[in-house]
Amino acid sequence: MAECWLHIFLDEASADVLFEVHPPLAIVDEADVDQQRRTLAPARFFAHRHILCNCEVLRNLSNAYNSLEPIPITDTAPDMFRRILYYIYGGEISIVWMYDHAEEMIDAAFQYDIGTLKIEAETWYRIKVKLTIDNVVDCYQYAVSRQLKTQMKVIQAFVVENEAAILDMIPITDNPGFHTMVVDSLTESAEATRSSASRQLDEASQRNALSSTIDS
């Protein structure tokens, strides 16, 4: 984020926004959910509207409520929501935590549309998750669902490098999008190879022509 506001992070005295983040529920049935919500107190996070402008999702959410009117958050764990706020206020999330929770961090950054955080988390996700023939389809689906552009390029390179094994698995892979990506990646690679070979032939011909001219 462009500015650092950590000096008022979670500061109740100056806050004009209050988030109440409910812990994840172990859903058994509706009655059980109601009971859990009554017994599990939500975590309270004070915030500031002018800083939430750094996150359009939270800005729009906070604008729908009056000052310090509790805003319920039920789809994000309290520890993750705290880190999201911390990042919005200009804080840095630890490398160790980012590595250990890379996929969760990507999910949260995608949910709250924080592009810079998603890019950071994606870097650690690529380091943590090694592509294999067994997991490449799942990794592809995740990259598509979270719009991970760099990870998609890594997957495309993996497909080209492992062409034979990838083609062997295609008949048993029920994923049209993956099939299309494989075809496009291999076609693009083949065209690039042909183009490179053509350039090399042209350069060789030019060298030979120049050599003949000099000799004559």
Find the helix packing angle between 176-215 and 136-145, rounded to 10°. Answer: 100
**Domain segments of the chain: what residues?**
1-92, 130-216
Q: Determine the CATH number of domain 1-92.
A: 3.30.710.10
Q: Supply the pLDDT for residue 4.
A: 83
Distance from the Cα of residue 212 to its chain's centroid: 57
Phi then psi dihedrals of residue 165, to 5 deg = -65, -35
DSSP state for residue 67 in the 8-state scheme: T
Record the pTM: 0.80
| Cα–Cα distance, 67 to 21 (Å, whole number) | 17
Residue 149 three-state SS? helix
Q: Is the pLDDT of residue 2 over 90?
A: no
Cβ atoms of 72 and 22 closer than 8 Å: yes
**pLDDT tens digits, residue range 120-155?**
999 999 999 999 999 999 999 999 999 999 999 999
